[in-house]
Amino acid sequence: MATKSGSRYVLGAFLLFAVFVLCVASPALAQSSARPSPVEVVVPKPPTPVIIEGERVLVYELHITNFGPSSLTLTRIQVFASGSQSSPGENMGGDKLADYNGSSLSELLRPVDGASQMGESSDMASKNNPEKLDIGRRVIAFMYVNVPGDLRMSALRHRFSFDVADPSRSKGTPNDESALDGIIVPVLERSPLVLSPPFKDGVWLAGNGPSNSSVHRRSVTAIDGRAYISQRFAIDWDLVGNNGNTFHDSRERNENFWGFGQPVLAVADGEVTEVVDGIPDNAPGKLPLVTVQTIAGNHVIVRIAADTYVMFAHLKQGSIRVRLHQKIKRGAQFAQVGNSGNTTGAHLHFQVTNGNSVFAAEGIPFIFDKFRFLGFGKDFEEDHHPDLPRSRTLPADDSVIAFP
């Protein structure tokens, strides 16, 4: 379930893509040129605002498919607030929240083909021309829109611009461009889900944490007839020791990873809905052969509210203290950090979803009440780092934080 690069882990095997249709709105289409845009735009899950490192963000996806007779090139995506206090119309007007073109657009896009699997780098995706929509091709735009903290809206309006690859028309002639406007995506304004830390204390690295480029964020899984991103806000937690690293001495022993065997705590009151134990911990650095059933390793899923589930994965073999349907209290220890499943080093994979499944569910946002920000893992130094209070937010990708 996780592969390791340095001290970073990825819940990322068996990541397949599916073409499916799940419209969340009836878009009002307003073409800005005489040439229509034969494009379908699908939004699998409407965004819910989340606070990440103090910034209010809308995280969602646009599945864009070319149903036309010729190739298109997506050149621009614009996002406007709709239904806000400063937006008089639902389909036109409104505050412009984002405008993507050139490299900023390329970084959002992943084609639905083999080249986009396993969360490859933006540079590689750009080389594969993610903006080009051949006939029947689908591309996913991974949206990560920053929103002013005081702006409230009921929906987002999107405008797409395309170049038309028609050999009968040269650039600059009529109808060589096309646009699609009025794609409305509802925004689900809800009170934030506030969780307790999954650990009693310690300094922890939020590996592959919330961002628009982490492997968790880009991991689309096709299962049971549709596509999901269960890991949309997932975090791989690594304990940082007093040497400023996630392990000491030889990396060939699980016991040399600071996190191995650390207590794992319930982040809210709930009921255990899935327990898997008995999978041996891996030798560090050696990725085992895994299946869909073993990819999460030893793990526990807890239902903490209606349509709200927390998964704790890669737990230490034999450390799980709870059973199926058992009630559990916030702060109670129920397992230990391990190295089981699809992982090459001890860590805790942590995600919150709307369903009782490792993959067949959508990742939903959450926040922690408070922690201290100590810098980023890429340049963290044990004796020299910031120490800043954070409240009611998620840590950003690669943050090093201390829970109280």
Using pLDDT thresholds of 50, 70 and 90, give the confidence band for residue 168: low
**124 three-state secondary structure:** helix
| Average pLDDT, integer, range 36-54 | 93
Nearest to 113 by CA among 126, 103, 101, 128: 128
Using pLDDT thresholds of 50, 70 and 90, give the confidence band for residue 167: low
pLDDT of 194 above 90: yes
Pick from 17-26, 83-92, 196-205: least confident: 17-26
Q: Residue 383: its pLDDT value, please?
A: 86
Using pLDDT thresholds of 50, 70 and 90, give the confidence band for residue 222: very high
Q: Residue 320: its pLDDT value, please?
A: 98
Q: For residue 10, what are the β-bridge partners?
A: 3
In order of start, what are the domains of the chain with their CATH numbers? 17-186 (2.70.50), 194-402 (2.70.70.10)
pLDDT of 125 above 60: no
* Torsion angle (degrees, nearest 10) of CA 208, 57, 53, 196: -80
If DSSP states are collapsed to H, E and C, what string results for 246-298? Answer: CECCCCCCHHHECCCCCEEECCCCEEEEEEECCCCCCCCCCCCCCCCCCCCCE
| Average pLDDT, integer, range 36-65 | 94
Q: Residue 316: its pLDDT value, please?
A: 98
pLDDT of 12 above 60: no
The H or E element that residue 100 is part of is strand 96-101
**237 three-state secondary structure:** strand
